[in-house]
Amino acid sequence: MARDSQAVRVIAKNRRARHDYEILDTLECGMALVGTEVKSLRAGRASIGEAYGRMRRGELWLVGATIPEYSHGNMFNHETTRDRKLLAHGRELRSLEKRVHEKGVTLVPLTLYFRGHRVKLELALVRGKRQRDRRQDQKQRDAKREIDRAMSRRR
């Protein structure tokens, strides 16, 4: 998530994404926001659970994310569920656009966070997991838990 030594403060996580999808690739993007959105995010209020990424005319957009209105805003407060433009390098966008058009592949946000004073979004290129894949993951987690318990008893 964070590459630099700047402070990272997580605002929102999409916990279901890692459970429901197989993550193929991740991308860190900036977000084009208005002032009241940033103030609302600083208060730690956001939801990316139902959000997804979409390519439109060569640009990347975040659709369905909810940033509640800023409580001390005025009549120019932002719309809570508007589409927000994501900022990434052109070569990353072109590569992503090619891969998104594959069957069964979509863009899902994983984490929304501040890095320094900038708002960043970790976006993942994902493919849906089948039921048997989820069961297999659960079996692996259970096996690892049993191994850890056995090792802790031996100490």
Q: Is residue 47 in some structural domain?
A: yes
Residue 109: predicted pLDDT? 92
**What is the pTM for the complete model shown?**
0.72
Q: Is residue 153 in some structural domain?
A: no
Q: Is residue 3 in some structural domain?
A: no
Number of domains in the chain: 1
Give tens-digit pLDDT for 7-66.
Answer: 888 888 888 888 888 888 888 999 888 888 888 888 877 888 888 888 888 888 988 888
Range list of β-strands (E), the chain: 8-13, 21-31, 52-56, 59-63, 84-87, 105-115, 118-128
What does the block give as tokens for 99? 């891969």
Domain that holds residue 113: 8-129
Give tens-digit pLDDT for 59-97.
Answer: 889 888 888 887 776 667 777 778 888 898 988 888 888
Q: Is residue 146 in some structural domain?
A: no
CA 93 – CA 105 distance, rounded (Å): 15
CA 62 – CA 51 distance, rounded (Å): 7
In CATH, what number is assigned to the domain containing residue 112? 2.40.280.10
Q: Is residue 147 in some structural domain?
A: no
pLDDT bucket at 3, cuts 50 / 70 / 90: low
Taking residues 129-145, report their average pLDDT: 81
Q: Is residue 43 in some structural domain?
A: yes
Q: Is residue 97 in some structural domain?
A: yes
Q: Is residue 105 in some structural domain?
A: yes
Mean of all residue pLDDT scores within the chain:
83
Contacts for 88 with CB less than 8 Å, ≥ 6 apart: 27, 29, 30, 60, 96
Residue 4: predicted pLDDT? 55
